[in-house]
Amino acid sequence: MKVIFDLDYTLLDTTKFKKKLAEIFYGRNFQADYKKYFKNKGLNFSYSQYLKILKRESGVDSQMDKKLALKLKSLMNGLNDYLFPEAEKIIKYFKNAGAELILVTFGDKTWQRQKVKNLSIRKYFNRISFEPENKSLSRLLKSLKNGREEILIINDNAEEAKAMIKILGKKAKVFLLDGPYARNIKHNWPINKLGELL
């Protein structure tokens, strides 16, 4: 069996992480900026892009720049603390059962890489893939399409899960997790909590 794990809101408590991230940008309304500059434009969050916007808008100087970089580094160093409590146990469970573990994250590549680099759970994965926004273009998913093994998709984003099923076909099953994107399309999947996998 192959298990495809998503990262944000699936293994990582991204809500908790974002709150902490917002604290780095003291004096800014991060949530509002996030909506205005990324979400509403259909763009993925990118730290470097956000920094550019801050520089343009409020003139972040190089000293400020360094300060922000240090704060971000310290947040990222502690990223393991932002995993859901059951995350490692579940990954290990499938690992011990002999499954092939694949981590697939969609989003800004640099930003997602930075997150994964700081997560100790990365060692359990046979493959880690940073995918383009357009799921149908995913080379990894296309390559999995022809295998015979069962595939379990563990993801919080219903739309994303559906797009993956569309490529992978019937041998793929979805375990949908609750989160802000669990209801972004109509579907009949039950909505679960991560701990319920065991």
In the complex, minimum distance from the CB of residue 70 to Mg ion, in angstroms, rounded to a whole number: 28
In the complex, minimum distance from the CB of residue 56 to Mg ion, in angstroms, rounded to a whole number: 29
Radius of gyration, alpha carbons of the chain: 18
Asked if 94 touches Mg ion (CB under 5 A), the answer is: no
In the complex, minimum distance from the CB of residue 101 to Mg ion, in angstroms, rounded to a whole number: 16
Asked if 108 touches Mg ion (CB under 5 A), the answer is: no
Crossing angle between the packed helical segments 109-117 and 47-58, to the nearest 10 degrees: 120
In the sheet with 151-155, reading across from the earlier edge strand, the strands are 127-131, 100-106, 2-5, 151-155, 172-177, 191-192
Asked if 8 touches Mg ion (CB under 5 A), the answer is: yes
Distances in Å between the alpha carbon of 16 and those of 22, 145, 197?
Answer: 10, 34, 22
- Listed ranges 3-11, 67-75, 83-91, 96-104: which one lies at the site for Mg ion (CB under 5 A): 3-11
Asked if 33 touches Mg ion (CB under 5 A), the answer is: no
Asked if 82 touches Mg ion (CB under 5 A), the answer is: no
Ramachandran region, residue 6 (left: φ > 0; alpha: ψ -120 to 50; beta: rest): beta
Asked if 13 touches Mg ion (CB under 5 A), the answer is: no
Candidates 2, 4, 5, 9; binder of Mg ion (CB under 5 A) is 9
Report phi then psi at 174, rounded to 5.
-110, 130
Q: In this structure, how many other beta carbons lie within 10 angstroms of the beta carbon of residue 37?
A: 18
Contact mark string toward Mg ion, 125..164, x via CB under 5 A: -------------------------------xx-------
The DSSP bridge partners found for residue 106 are: 131
Number of residues engaging Mg ion in binding (CB under 5 A): 6
- Listed ranges 6-14, 48-56, 64-72, 138-146: which one lies at the site for Mg ion (CB under 5 A): 6-14
Measured from the CB atom, the residue of 99 and 182 that comes closer to Mg ion is 182
Contact status, residue 136 vs residue 167, Cβ threshold 8 Å = yes
Q: List interacting residues with Mg ion (CB under 5 A).
A: 6, 8-10, 156-157
